[in-house]
């Protein structure tokens, strides 16, 4: 079962890492537009449309990645004090009551939005001859599907934790700086200097 959970984590991680290149494209496009607008006096109307589409892709595709790293915001005021089994029971309840129905609704609506957009060859209306919207709208069900798959992996993690009393391991990626570790490092360096 651990192999399955880690393979789902890897899928979410790869999707998140690939979509992170939207930041590079977005940055390059905005820099190019600034140069084009202010140096060559030749602005492009479509840059605004493409920039919010790239940002949307980045935002939507980050959902499964963030869930795989247990990085979504939750009410940690009480949650952090609970035993792992209590945390797992609460998570399991919330996954079934809110998460699964919400993400299924997102995927269902996203498929309809993407199909309708493709059927009418929808383009943006912000500018004349704006870029097509259907590739962007196709990201909605894809991101929702990845989030749903990761959600099922999280449900399995909750069930394992209820049985064993410990959370299963996650795939290692990057970690935020832990303030306590940072303080320990600084105090350790201060001790070296004082000696």
pLDDT in tens, 26-69: 999 999 999 999 999 988 888 888 888 999 999 999 999 999 98
- Pick the closest to residue 19 from 65, 68, 71, 72 (CA basis): 65
Q: CA-based angle 182:189:178, to the nearest 5? A: 5
Q: What is the pLDDT of residue 177?
A: 57
Torsion angle defined by CA atoms of residues 53, 18, 168 and 141, in that order, rounded to the nearest 10 degrees:
40
Q: What is the pLDDT of residue 195?
A: 58
What is the rounded average pLDDT of the residues 129-144?
Answer: 91
Percent pLDDT > 90 in the chain is 55
Would you place residue 83 in the very low, low, confident or very high pLDDT band (cuts 50, 70, 90)?
very high
pLDDT of residue 189 exceeding 70, the answer is no
């Amino acid at each position: 079962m651990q192999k399955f959970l880690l393979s789902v984590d890897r899928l979410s991680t790869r999707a998140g890492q690939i979509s992170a290149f939207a930041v590079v494209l977005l940055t390059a496009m905005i820099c190019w537009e600034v140069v084009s607008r202010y140096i060559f006096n030749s602005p492009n109307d479509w840059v605004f449309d493409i920039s919010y589409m790239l940002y949307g892709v980045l935002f939507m595709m980050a959902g499964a990645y963030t869930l795989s790293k247990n990085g979504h915001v939750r009410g940690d005021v009480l949650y952090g004090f609970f035993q792992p089994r209590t945390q797992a029971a609460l998570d399991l309840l919330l996954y079934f009551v809110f998460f699964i129905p919400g993400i299924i609704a997102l995927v269902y609506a996203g498929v309809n939005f993407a199909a309708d957009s493709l059927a009418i060859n929808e383009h943006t209306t912000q500018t004349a001859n704006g870029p097509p919207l259907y590739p962007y709208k196709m990201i909605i069900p894809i991101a929702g599907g990845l989030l749903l798959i990761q959600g099922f992996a999280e449900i399995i993690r909750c069930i394992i934790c209820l049985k064993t009393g410990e959370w299963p391991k996650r795939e290692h990626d990057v970690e935020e700086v832990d303030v306590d570790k940072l303080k320990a490092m600084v105090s350790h360096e201060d001790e070296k200097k004082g000696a």
